[in-house]
Amino acid sequence: VATISCRVKNSDDSVIQLLNPNRQTIYFKDFRPLKDSRFQLVNFSNSELRVSLTNVSVSDEGRYFCQLYTDPPQEIYTTMTVLVPPRNLVIDIQKDIATEGEEIELNCTAMASRPATKIRWFKGNKELRGKSEVEQWSDMFTVTSQLLLTVGREDDGVPVICLVDHPAVKDLQTQRYLEVIYKPQVRVLQNYPLQGLTREGEPLELTCTAFGKPQPTEVKWLRVDDEMPQHVVVSGSNLLINNLNKTDNGTYRCEASNAVGKSSADYMLFVYDTTATTEPAVHDSRAGDEGSIRAVDHAVIGGVVAVVVFAMLCLLIILGRYFARHKGTYFTHEAKGADDAADADTAIINAEGGQNNSEEKKEYFI
């Protein structure tokens, strides 16, 4: 509904009339010559003519004139602009189900708006940047915005929102929920012993947890680079060794797979003597693409550090002995030339280091 008013100050009872953009008379005083029932008189007096227009369309856009029959006549106009909100807002997604790490394309289309719509993208609460194209049909605009999105497992179930920014409408939006499939995430947990060393003669119980989308169809245990001992009991995702011994040492791997791929996690077992009191190795395993991060025994690290320190001490001792044996040798130029003299008197005369040249004596250290 649009309301158009003609107001007069200091009225002298002159006739007021309202004209449409085609300069057709809508109202002459309180009479409506135009046969368009959408125009209705709201108020008429000597100082105001107010008219309402219902069911406004784009064809109603333009200048509306108020005329006052004075001498000379007076005229003023106002311009009415018609805004058209988009009729439909649709998100089209390239793939209904996407795989982790895959790039997918989403398109949001806002049809038949005026002026052209601005489209904004959101993933959850985070705004993303899309690329928009505008097509004009007559005096209407259709806008399509494209969004390229690389999805991860954290995007599964997250809404992607297409939001319209247009002066004729507020809070117009549509959304699609992402569905992302991904390979399992695997982890090995030590149930027993909860703390302390894995000692010879004691039991060991491990549990493998695996979560993916779809859920893993197969979970299995194996021993890396060796056969699984016969006394090891595997029941589904659990591994049990009732009586540990040194031959059980090694890396035990849990593998899980689904339609997307396969992942694994490793557990490194070191069996200590029954009298061992050293702090235990840390058996913390996490899933990886080809394997997992293996736990490292603290005793092994300590041994490596000790070897490095011992090697550095040996190197220092060898260098000290070398420098002690190779002290500097002194050479002087005294009596230079005396070696070729026939007798002692000639040698003294020929010597450059004699009393006459004592000021030029030089000494070198090599």
Name the band, by pLDDT with cuts 50, 70 and 90, for residue 342. low
**CA distance linking residue 215 with residue 62, whole number of Å:** 63
Contact 1, 42 (CB under 8 A): no
pLDDT computed for residue 57 by the predictor: 93
Query: Helices marked H in the chain — which ranges?
Result: 298-325, 344-350
**CA distance linking residue 269 with residue 204, whole number of Å:** 10
> Average pLDDT, stretch 290-307?
58
DSSP class per residue in 225-239: TSPPPTTEEEETTEE
Does the global pTM surpass 0.85?
no
> Average pLDDT, stretch 13-20?
94
Name the band, by pLDDT with cuts 50, 70 and 90, for residue 87. confident
Q: Which of 11-20, 32-41, 345-354 is predicted least confidently?
A: 345-354
Query: Percentage of the chain with pLDDT > 70?
Result: 82
Name the band, by pLDDT with cuts 50, 70 and 90, for residue 279. low
> Average pLDDT, stretch 315-319?
86
**CA distance linking residue 136 with residue 115, whole number of Å:** 10
Question: Who has greater pLDDT, 28 or 171?
Answer: 28
Averaged pLDDT score across all residues of the chain: 86
> Average pLDDT, stretch 51-76?
95
> Average pLDDT, stretch 175-187?
97
**CA distance linking residue 76 with residue 6, whole number of Å:** 9
* Sequence-separated (6 or more) residues with CB below 8 Å from residue 344: none
Q: Which of 159-168, 173-182, 291-300 is predicted least confidently?
A: 291-300
pLDDT computed for residue 331 by the predictor: 47
The yes-or-no verdict on residue 33 having pLDDT over 60 is yes
Name the band, by pLDDT with cuts 50, 70 and 90, for residue 305. confident
pLDDT computed for residue 281 by the predictor: 45
pLDDT in tens, 211-260: 999 999 889 999 999 999 999 999 999 999 999 999 999 999 999 999 99
